[in-house]
Amino acid sequence: MIFRARHYQTEELLDIICEDGVIVSVAKAGTRIPDYISDFVSPAFFDLQINGALGVAFSDINLDVSGILKVIEVCKYHGISAICPTIITNSHEILLHGFKTLRLACENDPSICRAMPCFHLEGPYISAEDGPRGAHLRQHVRIPNYEEFKQHQAASGNRIKLITLAPELQGALDFIRKVHQDGVVVAIGHTAASPGVIREAVLAGATLSTHLGNGSHAMLPRHESYFWEQLGSDALSASIITDGHHLPEALIKAIVRTKPLNKQIITCDASGLAGLPPGRYALWNQEIDILQNGRVVVPGTPFLAGSGSFTDDCVAHLVSLGIVSKNHALEMATNAPRRLLKLPEVKIQTGEIANMIFIDSNESLPFRLKHVVVDGLLIR
């Protein structure tokens, strides 16, 4: 198969030739007739926070391998070649079940293993306060417990590489130091910490703010707040949900112009309901609405319960705002999160298994996903 497109960074027009799923040649466009033509090519997306999709939630007691496959397949269609499946605040038993089932899925099939190179535990060690807690279930929020975490880590086969927690909780700073030493990336999120505690968390090893600007109180002190402290920290990468619902345009602009370039990450934070039509659904033992405009909310509250979008939608929205270049937005959703988690970058070069997305771009539609190749297979 010959794909012709401009490289997203260099803009050079290339012919990329794949044989048996492997890139065998990347060269200046020549005289051969390509099979697929599009405007731009980039590495496929990686998303560090996917909670599920199409009615499958990784935090569900009924999670099974077929559900995991369903999520991976829909993610691939959206150009996401790999995800960090994310399990959120729940009982010890449900967390164990989730990580064990994810591990079994990986052990059964090397291609699933490549699609889920590591796992994310978001909670249960987060703030119990309304606002910072977001849609996490209050009855399962608790203080950090390293012995419990080690059991989850064992159930996962040592695949938990990211944990989101609130550093103000009793014992949290010590917990951060321990898991950081274990090689787990620690993210600050769903927190009500003082700025001083945020600084201590960074010293203890935290390197990421999870969905900065969300999972927060509706009202914050104008100067001394966990939001400004995290925004102003050059040590913290920030993931942001640019789905058009979670953050207003001006705030996205402030974040991408403040954070160091290599520390900006897009996540879609897809909920277990992503990809489903509007309506009322049961998720995590509570009711969740998908509104007509695509917002996923806890009924009767202003609080969002994850998103109904995928990473490609988030990149398309950010590009449409005109705040950053297409190249910049793609980096935020491809290799920037891979680098944070110390995963190998995906490269478009000879000898690599093809993991590429092809994008069409014009003035009225600056970002349209056209073709996707994941794990060497043409998905769309």
Which stretch of DSSP H or E encloses residue 360?
strand 356-360
d(CA 372, CA 380): 5
Nearer to Zn ion among residue 132 and residue 195 (C-beta): 132
d(CA 72, CA 116): 8
Nearer to Zn ion among residue 215 and residue 272 (C-beta): 215
**Distance of closest approach, residue 164 Cβ to Zn ion, in angstroms:** 7
Which stretch of DSSP H or E encloses residue 77?
helix 65-77
Nearer to Zn ion among residue 313 and residue 352 (C-beta): 313
Nearer to Zn ion among residue 286 and residue 349 (C-beta): 286
Which stretch of DSSP H or E encloses residue 49?
strand 45-50
Secondary structure class of 215 (helix, strand, coil): coil
> How many residues are there in the chain?
380
> For 35, which DSSP code?
S
Nearer to Zn ion among residue 144 and residue 215 (C-beta): 215
**Distance of closest approach, residue 87 Cβ to Zn ion, in angstroms:** 12
d(CA 267, CA 79): 13
**Distance of closest approach, residue 316 Cβ to Zn ion, in angstroms:** 22
**Distance of closest approach, residue 121 Cβ to Zn ion, in angstroms:** 11
**Residue 214 Cα to chain centre, angstroms:** 14
The number of C-alpha atoms within 13 Å of 231 and in the hemisphere containing its C-beta is 18
Give residue 55's identity as a one-letter amino acid code: G
**Distance of closest approach, residue 288 Cβ to Zn ion, in angstroms:** 14
**Distance of closest approach, residue 306 Cβ to Zn ion, in angstroms:** 7
Site string for Zn ion, 57-76 (x = CB under 5 A): --------------------
Secondary structure class of 19 (helix, strand, coil): strand
**Distance of closest approach, residue 241 Cβ to Zn ion, in angstroms:** 9
Count of residues that bind Zn ion according to CB under 5 A: 1
Nearer to Zn ion among residue 274 and residue 359 (C-beta): 274
Nearer to Zn ion among residue 85 and residue 215 (C-beta): 215
- What tokens does 165 get? 């927690």
Whether omega before 124 lies within 30 degrees of 0, making that bond cis, reads yes
Nearer to Zn ion among residue 215 and residue 275 (C-beta): 215
Nearer to Zn ion among residue 76 and residue 136 (C-beta): 136
Closest alpha carbon to 241 in 276, 274, 265 = 265
**Distance of closest approach, residue 102 Cβ to Zn ion, in angstroms:** 18
**Distance of closest approach, residue 132 Cβ to Zn ion, in angstroms:** 10
Q: Which of residues 114-153 bind Zn ion (CB under 5 A)?
A: none
d(CA 31, CA 369): 25
When CB distances to Zn ion are compared, the closest residue is 215
Q: Which of residues 176-235 bind Zn ion (CB under 5 A)?
A: 215
Q: How does 90-117 read in b/e, with b if 16+ C-beta sit within 10 Å?
A: beeebbbbbbbbbbbbbeeeeebbbbbb
Q: Is the dihedral of CA 302, 83, 251, 54 positive or negative?
A: negative
Q: Which residues of the chain form contacts with Zn ion (CB under 5 A)?
A: 215
